[in-house]
Structure 1
Amino acid sequence: MIRVRVRRDEAGRITGFTVQGHAGFAEAGRDIVCAGVTAVVFTALLGLRSVARIPHAVRQEDREGYVDCRLEPGTPEAERTAQAILETMVLGLRDIEKDYGGYVRVTEGG
């Protein structure tokens, strides 16, 4: 199962997220759940870097199906843009979870 943990601060802003595991929906290379989660997450990371231009730290371990992203302080505009990108990522992941809940779980918290 893919587990996504979205971290939020006391104001509800996303401060980072962790993705861990493999869906196991189908064999590697044919797993549409894994492909969907990967596309949503890596598009969000691309948006943080290229659109929001907000500082962030990313740690990735391909073999383990692990990605951890932590936002760092940025300009107010960069932070607003980053929140829009990350909230959209959460919407996409929740939509995948709705249809494939046995293979992906999204949780949120501090």
Structure 2
Amino acid sequence: MIEIKVDRDDKNKITAFSMSGHAASGPYGYDLVCAGASAVSFGAVNAVDALCEVDLDVELADEGGYLFCKVPGGLIEQTSGEVQLLLEGMLVSLQTIAEQYGDHITILD
């Protein structure tokens, strides 16, 4: 199962998120839940970099199955808001996947 954990500060802003595990919803290379969750999360990380010019602190496992991203502190308010919008959009997409495939993905927010 893929487990997604979202960390928030006292203002409800996303400060970090992690995604770990494997969906095991299909054969390796044909797992649609894994592919969808990976595309959404990596797409959001890449969007933050390309559109907001913010480098998230990213950790990956060499063999896959683990992604951790931390939002850097000290961002100006506008940039912080843009980063939050992209990460909240990512979360909505992941929740949509979880609604359909709850046996293979869970979100702790």
Normalising by structure 1, report the TM-score.
0.94
Unaligned stretches of 5+ residues in structure 2: none
1:9-38 deviations in Å (ceiling 9; x for gaps):
111000010000000000111000000000
CA RMSD, 1 decimal: 1.0
Distance in 1 (CA, whole Å) between partners of 2:62 and 2:100 is 25
Percent sequence identity over matched residues?
A: 31
- The residue identity in structure 1 corresponding to 2:78 is E
Unaligned stretches of 5+ residues in structure 1: none
Normalising by structure 2, report the TM-score.
0.95
The answer (yes or no) to whether the contact 2:19–2:66 under 8 Å persists in 1 is yes
Shift of 1:64: 4.2
Q: How many pairs were matched up? A: 108
1:21-61 deviations in Å (ceiling 9; x for gaps):
00000011100000000000000000111112224200001
Query: Does residue 10 of structure 2 align to residue 7 of structure 1?
Result: no
Distance in 1 (CA, whole Å) between partners of 2:18 and 2:79 is 21
- The residue identity in structure 2 corresponding to 1:68 is F
1:88 aligned residue: 89
Distance in 2 (CA, whole Å) between partners of 1:20 and 1:82 is 22
- 4+ residue stretches of structure 1 with deviation over 2 A? none
- The residue identity in structure 2 corresponding to 1:77 is Q
